[in-house]
Every structure is written in C-alpha cells, then in structure tokens.
C-alpha cells in the first residue's frame, strides 16, 4: 500500500501541475507501471452521464462525506493540492465563482494533500479564500475512483449526481467560457456575468 501511494504521488508530481519537462509524464507513468499517455487538457465529455463515485473523503470538520451528500443542486468538484502551481493559480477564480453562484451551484475544492488538515486550512486562510472550505481526501480515493491522474481536474455534476463534463488543467472559472460550461449542469447554455 505504501509503495502504491509513493508511485501515485510520484506520478502526480511529475505528470501534472505545470511540469516544464515534456518527458516527465511518460517517465512518471513508466515508474507507476502504466502505459504512457498524454493527459487531456481542457473539456472531456467522455464520462457524461456517469454517476458520481461513492468514494469517501472528509468534510471541513473532518467528518466522513461523499458526493451523494451534494445531490439536489449542481456541484463543481475541483481536485487540487497545495503543492500544485496551476491549482493555486485557479483557486481565486473558484472562490469568486463560489460566492457568485452560491444559490445555484455548490463548489467543492477537494484537497489531495496527504500532510493533514492543518496544512490545507492554513493554506486557504493565508490566501484569503473565504468561500472555499478545507475538504480533504488524504488517501486520494476520489482520484482513484474517477481515474484522474492530473491536477487540477474539475468535474461538473448535475443535481442528480451525474457527470456533465470534466476539465483537466487550470481555468478562469469567472470567465465567459467557464460560465457557458457551468450552465450545462441545468441543461442551459449558461450566461456570463
């Protein structure tokens, strides 16, 4: 189990988060025993209609939680980590989106950090992101359940818990294109504000 976690962390560190070495993803996948591939960047609709996985994680109070807890309103799930530069870059836009769309959309930033809750809470507080809470997945169960190997990855679920799309890489979640994408959760085209 420890070796598997090490390989996954190595894969994440080398294959994602703004690596400058174009060969790093292939090297990381070889180490992890996976066939080399190029991570998709941008919108991926190949999982549309798939039910949200039941993998557990921790809510901001440390209690058990799952994606089923969010049914009834569209959910934007963002998988991120404190050590991931593209993740950090997009957090302010997720915070602004969470404030602006609070009545229509749930925004959950699920940290994949393994160093504990204090690190994530301190990180968010230090960056003054009042609309983002410290949801934590220290065992990276969600990444495994979703088949995600790159951070950040953001997934939109409709109110019934069905995947609409996933977006790999960082995005300005306050922009016009993002508003159109988010509007798809309710079947509409979205609108920019």
Across the 193 residues of the chain, what is the mean pLDDT of every consecutive 10-residue run? Answer: 48 46 34 46 94 97 97 97 98 97 96 96 96 97 96 98 97 95 74 36
Residues 28 and 81 in one domain: no
Residues 28 and 8 in one domain: yes
Residues 103 and 122 in one domain: yes
Give the domain extent around 148: 40-186
What is the pLDDT, as a whole number, of residue 37?
46
What does the block give as tokens for 38? 């190029």
What is the pLDDT, as a whole number, of residue 186?
80
The pTM for the full model equals: 0.80
What is the pLDDT, as a whole number, of residue 5?
52
Quote the number of domains for the chain.
2
Burial state string for 85-120 with b = 16 or more CB within 10 A and e = fewer than 16? ebbbebbbbbbbbbebbeeebbbbbbbbbeeebebb
Q: Examine residue 193 and state whether it is found in any structural domain, yes or no.
A: no
Q: Examine residue 169 and state whether it is found in any structural domain, yes or no.
A: yes
Can you give the CATH number for the domain in which 47 is found? 3.40.30.10
What would you report as the CA-atom Rg of the chain, rounded to the nearest whole angstrom? 16
């Amino acid at each position: 189990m420890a070796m598997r976690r090490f390989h996954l962390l190595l894969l994440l560190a080398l294959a994602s988060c703004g690596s400058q070495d174009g060969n790093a993803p292939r090297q990381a996948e070889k180490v992890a025993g996976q066939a080399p591939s190029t991570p998709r960047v941008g919108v991926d609709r190949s999982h549309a209609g798939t039910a949200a996985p039941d993998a557990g994680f921790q809510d901001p109070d440390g209690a058990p939680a799952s994606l089923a807890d969010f049914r009834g309103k569209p959910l934007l799930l963002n998988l991120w980590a404190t050590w991931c530069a593209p993740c950090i870059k997009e957090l302010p836009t997720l915070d602004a989106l969470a404030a602006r769309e609070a009545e229509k959309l749930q925004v959950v930033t699920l940290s994949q950090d393994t160093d504990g809750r204090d690190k994530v809470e301190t990180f968010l507080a230090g960056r003054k992101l009042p609309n983002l809470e410290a949801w934590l997945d220290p065992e990276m169960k969600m990444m495994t359940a979703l088949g995600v190997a790159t951070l950040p990855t953001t997934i939109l679920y409709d109110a019934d818990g069905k995947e609409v799309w996933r977006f790999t890489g960082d995005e300005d979640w306050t922009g016009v294109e993002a508003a159109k994408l988010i509007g798809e959760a309710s079947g509409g085209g979205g609108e920019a504000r």
